[in-house]
Chains A and B, each alone.
Chain A
Amino acid sequence: MKWARLKSPWVLHFNSGACNACDIEVVALLTPRYDVERFGILLEPSPRHADILLTTGVVTRQCADRLKRIYEQMPEPKFVIAIGACACSGGVFEGNYNVIGGVDKVIPVDVYIPGCPPKPEAIIDGVVKLLKSIEGGEQSGKR
């Protein structure tokens, strides 16, 4: 059972107010040079189909509710990866008026990937670490 969950992690990408540097690195993961389909990772269009939510960007006030709603729409064994300094903690934009700063203030986050933007290899390394942590202990219970 867990083998299947590890071997086909479907991914959904949501940009909650980023400068789209991290987003083009996430999209670059699908292209021939990095090709995450090797791990069985597919970019799914609808939150209903996804297991892992890749969030980028410092959560702006406008995006906070949408981020929460999308997180709630995902079926249960779900995980969240915060990509880039903005998603981890607000990065350069910390303290601005329209910025909540950090995805973990809105939804629980499993893996933080620092970097502005992190290299595609660093993002793959983050996903691999998430899969190892799932394999280690069944962590989905700590919501």
Chain B
Amino acid sequence: MKVKREMAKLSPILREVISQVFKKPATRRYPEVKPKVPAGLRGRQIFDITLCISCGLCARDCPAKAIEMVDVEGKMRPLFHLDRCIFCYQCAESCPRNAIKSSEIFELASTNKSDLVVKPKENSVSGGSQ
């Protein structure tokens, strides 16, 4: 096995490249195979309108000023600007009633900017469509 020793001395890349050809490629075919996402992923927020006491703490603490308090049926509710949001979940932490929870939805790309603004009604737990 002189060749084997000689190959090893040469450079490990020679053997590695050949062995890689016969191994299964490490590619995950994303659009067909949905990726397994860990539990705590910081994806899109899920806002529960029933728990919210419209105190505005989340809007005050948001580093990117992505939460705007909007009047919904008399009460002030947070409206999420997803294009400004940096998904740090400081709002979930500083919300006294933890009405904001994280979810694993991360496919948020959109062709026009307007549907990146998530209104409180449409985003609440009951109506969580997307």
A–B direct touch in complex (beta carbons closer than 8 A): yes
List A residues at the B interface (Cβ < 8 Å).
32-35, 38, 85, 88-92, 94, 104, 110-116, 118-119, 121-126, 128-130, 133
- Bound-state Cα–Cα, A128 to B107, Å: 11
- Bound-state Cα–Cα, A89 to B86, Å: 11
Q: Are B83 and A112 in contact (CB under 8 A)?
A: yes
Note all chain B residues with C-beta closer than 8 A to A113.
108-109
From known contacts A85-B64, A88-B113, A129-B111, infer whether A114 and B82 are also in contact, taking CB-CB under 8 Å. Answer: yes
Q: Are A115 and B64 in contact (CB under 8 A)?
A: no
The number of residues on chain B lying at the interface, defined by a beta carbon within 8 Å of a beta carbon of chain A, is 28
Q: Which of B29-86 contact A (CB under 8 A)?
A: 29-31, 35, 63-65, 81-86
- Interface SS of B by simple majority: loop
Q: Are B85 and A125 in contact (CB under 8 A)?
A: no
Note all chain B residues with C-beta closer than 8 A to A118.
106, 108-109
Question: How far is the CB of B46 from the nearest CB of chain A, in Å?
Answer: 16
Note all chain A residues with C-beta closer than 8 A to B12.
none
- Bound-state Cα–Cα, A126 to B110, Å: 7
Question: How far is the CB of B32 from the nearest CB of chain A, in Å?
Answer: 10
Note all chain A residues with C-beta closer than 8 A to B108.
113-115, 118, 122
Question: How far is the CB of B62 from the nearest CB of chain A, in Å?
Answer: 10
- Bound-state Cα–Cα, A118 to B26, Å: 21
Q: Are B116 and A110 in contact (CB under 8 A)?
A: no
- Bound-state Cα–Cα, A125 to B109, Å: 7
Question: How far is the CB of B51 from the nearest CB of chain A, in Å?
Answer: 25
Question: How far is the CB of A26 from the nearest CB of chain B, in Å?
Answer: 14
- Bound-state Cα–Cα, A119 to B81, Å: 19
Q: Which of B1-40 contact A (CB under 8 A)?
A: 25-31, 35
A125 nearest CB neighbor, chain B only: B107
